[in-house]
Every structure is written in structure tokens, then in C-alpha cells.
Amino acid sequence: MSMSLILRRVGVGSFHRILSVKYNFKFLYTHKMSEKPVEYTHTNGIESKTPFLIGVAGGTASGKSTVCQRIMEKLGQQQKEHTERRVVCISQDSFYRTLTTAERMRAERGQFNFDHPDAFDDKKLLAVLKDILAGKKVEVPEYDYISNSIHPHHSHTIYPADVVLIEGILVFYFPEVRELFHMKLFVDTDSDTRLARRVPRDIMERGRDLEQVLNQYMNFVKPAFEEFCLPTKKFADVIIPRGADNVVAIDLIVQHISEYLKRSPAEKSQLQYIGASSTPGSPQRAGQAGRPH
Ligand SMILES: Nc1ncnc2c1ncn2[C@@H]1O[C@H](COP(=O)(O)OP(=O)(O)O)[C@@H](O)[C@H]1O
Ligand SMILES: Nc1ccn([C@@H]2O[C@H](COP(=O)(O)O)[C@@H](O)[C@H]2O)c(=O)n1
């Protein structure tokens, strides 16, 4: 079913309560001949395809990972071997930069700002995404929230896939990274709910105590969300209110990805080109104002 048909069936008014879709989302369904040739890359002499890159942003504990997990499950990808997956997911947290000794000591006391763009190695993230777009197999580090550093021995091999999801609080913050996405989702969950989820998660899974979690939230997480993350909502093509609770929105996105997966390589290339060219802030859109958040 095409997106316009879905819009007609659901009704535009109710559709907007399910998720917010910017006008450029529909461009993904526009069948128009592109002047750009079909793009194939070659790795070790093997022809590989450029994956469809989906950025998933949103505040801490908004449900970004859970939304990505649901998408993967509904597409039947979780049960598959990693080498067989057509849809894969990466976390921006794997690209936190290595801290200096002084920063590490501050981090142990909950006094380091992990929500500031400077906490990330955006150049490394950009390089890895470019390799993924070139159809290469990449190694993505595993982040350890207890030691506040990249795990020295664990990493994930990301094999070439058709669709790659990248989730993180600031995936739309860095312009060069943002412009690589063919589709951008923003998980929009109310801040009380996010705090209520973050507290138990950080205590149970990230080795923190209540006082540390609340201090970090008030001193760094909340102000940085307002300064750096929330303003990037305007770049999203699709806004998902209530995160993983929004089954209808997730189903629509899953349906979009399923349709994409069924297409021929030439059609995929066409959709990637159209999707990327409608990215706010990209050269093709220079001068057009983004929707205010
Ligand atoms: N819809 C939901 N209902 C209840 N708990 C949820 C829901 N979505 C996420 N959670 C929980 O909230 C916490 C944060 O979710 P997560 O998906 O990791 O968020 P993010 O990736 O945005 O930080 C996790 O413990 C997760 O299990
Ligand atoms: N060592 C670290 C690294 C990050 N954080 C916090 O994680 C949040 C981002 O991850 P989400 O899954 O919540 O999106 C971010 O808000 C950082 O504050 C941390 O506490 N310690």
C-alpha cells in the first residue's frame, strides 16, 4: 500500500496524531527518473549496494533503542544470523570519545557532560557511516557505561545490509553526519516519562546510584537536551510520539522499510537519491527554512 493510500485510509488528521510526517517523507514514494546513475560500490572485487541509512534521534530514554528493536523484530531480523541480516542497528554511544584521566575522574563522580556534542568522536562516526555507505563491513566498538569507556575487547561486526538504523541523542546534531541519512526519525517522549525510565535503567544497568543519576540529569542531561538535542527535531522526516508505545507509527515505518526491501537495486538507488536530496540543510535544500520544533 502506498503512503498516500495509507494517509487516505487513516485520514490525515488521525495520521498526524499517530506520527508527524514532514512533506519530504512522501518524496520517498515519488517515482521520478533520476539523473543519478545506479550506485554500486566494489569491496574486494564484489559488487555491493549502498544501504538506506535511517537516523533515529530523541532524548535520553525516549525509547530510541526499543523502537529500533521493535522495527528489527517486526521485520524478522532479530532471529537471523548477523551475517544474514538485511536491517541492522548501531548506537551513537559506540562513538563516545576516549576521556582524559581528569575527565575520567569527573565521570566517575557523575560530573562529566556526556550529553554535550564534544563528548562524541563525530569524525569517527562520520568515517564509519561513510564506510557503511560504501558497502563495507565495519567494526563498531561496544560502549561500557560502567567504566565510561569503549570496551577494550568487545566490538560488533556490522555486515553490509540493505537498511542501517543509527540511534542516538545527537545523531542529527553534526551536519555532515545528518546529511548522510536518507530518512530521519525523532522519538518524542515526554520528559517526565524519560526521567522515570532513566533512573531505574541507570541504577540497574549502568551501575549508578540515585543521587548521581539525579544530579547528572539536572546538571547536564536536561540542559543539554534542551540546547543540543531538541533543536534537531526540526530535521526529522517523521516524529514518533510516545516511542515504542506508538505501535501504529512503528507499523507504518516497518511497512515503508518492507516495501523498500522488496524493490530492485535500481529502484532502491532511486529512492535513496530522492530521500537524501530532500534532507533539510543539504545543498539541494540550502536556503529553505526547517520547521520550528
Ligand atoms: N514503551 C515503553 N514502555 C515501558 N518502558 C519502556 C518503553 N520504551 C522503553 N522503555 C524502557 O525505558 C528504558 C529506556 O529505553 P531505551 O529504548 O533504551 O531508550 P533510549 O534508547 O532512547 O535511551 C529501557 O529500560 C526500556 O526498557
Ligand atoms: N558514560 C556514559 C555515557 C553516556 N551516558 C548517558 O547516556 C545517555 C545516552 O544514551 P541513551 O541510551 O539514554 O540515549 C546520555 O544522556 C548520557 O547522559 C552516561 O550516563 N554515561
Q: What is the pLDDT of residues 224-272, one digit of tens each?
A: 999 999 999 999 999 999 999 999 999 999 999 999 888 877 777 776 6
The model scores a pTM over 0.95: no
The count of C-alpha atoms lying within 13 angstroms of the C-alpha of 71, restricted to the half-sphere facing its C-beta, is 30
The Cα 27–Cα 41 span in angstroms is 25
pLDDT in tens, 13-41: 444 445 555 433 323 322 222 233 334 44
Q: Which three cell numbers stand for residue 176?
A: 555532515
Given CATH 3.40.50.2300, say whether it is the number of domain 20-282.
no
The confidence band for 46, taking pLDDT boundaries of 50, 70 and 90, is very low
Distance 199 CA to ligand 1 centre (A): 11
Distance CA 202, CA 210 (A): 9
Q: Which ligand is nearest the CA of 240, by number?
A: 1
Q: Residues 166, 185: contact at Cβ < 8 Å?
A: no
* Rounded alpha-carbon distances, angstroms, from residue 191 to 85, 151, 212, 230, 288: 33, 30, 18, 11, 30
Q: What is the pLDDT of residues 73-97, one digit of tens each?
A: 999 888 888 888 889 999 999 999 9
Q: What are the helix and strand counts (H, E) for the chain?
A: 11, 10
Q: Please count the other Cβ atoms lying within 10 Å of the Cβ belonging to residue 279.
A: 21
Where are the domains positioned within the chain?
A: 20-282
Q: What is the DSSP string of 179-208?
A: TT-SEEEEEE--HHHHHHHHHHHHHHHS--
Nearest CA residue ID for atom 6, ligand 2: 114
Residue 88's pLDDT is what?
A: 94
Judge if the beta carbon of residue 115 lies within 6 A of ligand 2: yes
Question: Of 9 and 129, which is predicted with more confidence?
Answer: 129
Residue 255 CA, ligand 1 centroid: distance in Å? 22
